[in-house]
Amino acid sequence: MGGPIAAMLPDGERLHLQHGPIDLIIGADGAAGEVARAYGSAIQRFETVLSRLVQELPDLRSACLPQGRAFAGPVARRMEAAVRPHANEVFVTPMAAVAGAVADEILSAMVAAATLSRAYVNNGGDIALHLAPGTRFDLAIARLESVGEHGRVRIEASDPIRGVATSGRGGRSLSLGIAESVTVLARTAAAADAAATLIANAVDLPGHPGVRRVPANECDPDSDLGDRSVVVGCPPLTPAEAEEAVARGAIEASRLRAAGLIEAAAVFLQSACRIEGVLGDRAVAAVPARGQQQEMSVHA
């Protein structure tokens, strides 16, 4: 594997950083000198991210313990902090938050180095955000299994959300569940990443004969899931079946929101959709479900 690669994208405005499996698209708004300074800081910080993670990889791939563990690297510590609140409830490793934690770390370096009105670090769809007062981001909710989007989310600087993550059966990681996609809004990208993984795992129809599962280590010998069964195929479901599976995910999303671990979530599977989260009477997203528009909003 080669070293880190840094290049401006053809639009001349966004920065691309890539090293091994980490692939970041970074954008920033501000005075030209401040943006240049932020990008320089991102490039410098990125140089050692993967190598430091590799040094602690065996422990990062093992189950998180309720009491937590002391990791040396700052990204590893972000990963552990994001999954530790879930350790009493389910099996989870710090790897559930790796993409979001990397995004958070690079964004933190940028914001510390420069004065920016807005900035984002997008790590394969898991996004860390910076918003100065009075600014906002409009983001698309991506489909993981098909072209297009489920809707759009508007995040204001006054909202507590600074992280967005999407997980599901069509994503980059293996899933225990059958969700097409689960998008989570949280206070950090790492927290959103971990929660999206767990909510997607909960979207399921245990024992359904059409759902194909194999041990995770047959798909990826290095998977942190070991021999746990992951979903590799899901047939067309009846509306009732899709609703049942999505309801399981919605229950998990509601639990995490009540615990203060997420701000909102949108769960999608074929014809079914569930939204968890409100922000007064102001909608911040419109999400199509079964031919109709549903509002997704977030709780301040």
pLDDT digits (tens, 9 = 90+) for 251-295: 999 999 999 999 999 999 998 999 898 543 344 444 443 333 344
Residues 85-117: tens digit of each pLDDT: 999 989 999 999 999 999 999 999 999 999 999
Considering the domain architecture, whether residues 123 and 191 belong to the same structural domain is answered as no
Domain boundary, last residue among 77, 101, 132: 132
Q: What is the pLDDT of residues 4-19, one digit of tens each?
A: 999 999 999 999 999 9
- 185 and 290 together in one domain: yes
pLDDT for 289 equals: 39
Contact predicate 26/39, CB 8 Å: yes
Q: What is the pLDDT of the chain when averaged over all its residues?
A: 89
**Domain membership of residue 20 as a residue range:** 1-132
The pLDDT of residue 151: 73
- Based on the fold, state whether residues 48 and 170 are members of the same structural domain: no
In 3-state terms, what secondary structure has residue 174? coil
What is the model's pTM?
A: 0.91
Are residues 186 and 263 both part of a single domain?
Answer: yes
Angle, CA 253 vertex, CA 248 and CA 257 arms, to 5°? 150
Domain boundary among 88, 113, 132: 132
**pLDDT score for 171:** 65
Q: CA dihedral in degrees (220, 226, 227, 231; nearest 10)?
A: -60
Q: Are residues 289 and 271 in the same domain?
A: yes
- The residue among 295, 297, 199, 207 whose CA lies nearest residue 248 is 199
**266 and 155 in a common domain:** yes
58-95 pLDDT, tens digit per residue, is 999 999 988 889 999 999 999 999 999 999 989 999 99
Average pLDDT of the segment spanning 215-229:
90
Report the range of poorest mean pLDDT among 145-154, 194-203, 210-219, 241-250: 145-154
139 contact partners, CB below 8 Å, separation of at least 6? 127, 152, 153, 154, 155, 164
107 and 209 share one domain: no
Single residue among 132, 156, 178 that ends a domain in this structure: 132
Of all residues in the chain, the percent with pLDDT exceeding 90 is 77
Q: Answer yes or no: do 150 and 100 share one domain.
A: no
Q: Could you tell me if 176 and 106 lie in one domain?
A: no
- If asked whether residues 141 and 95 sit together in one domain, one would say no
* CB burial of residue 154 (10 Å; 0-12, 13-18, 19+): middle
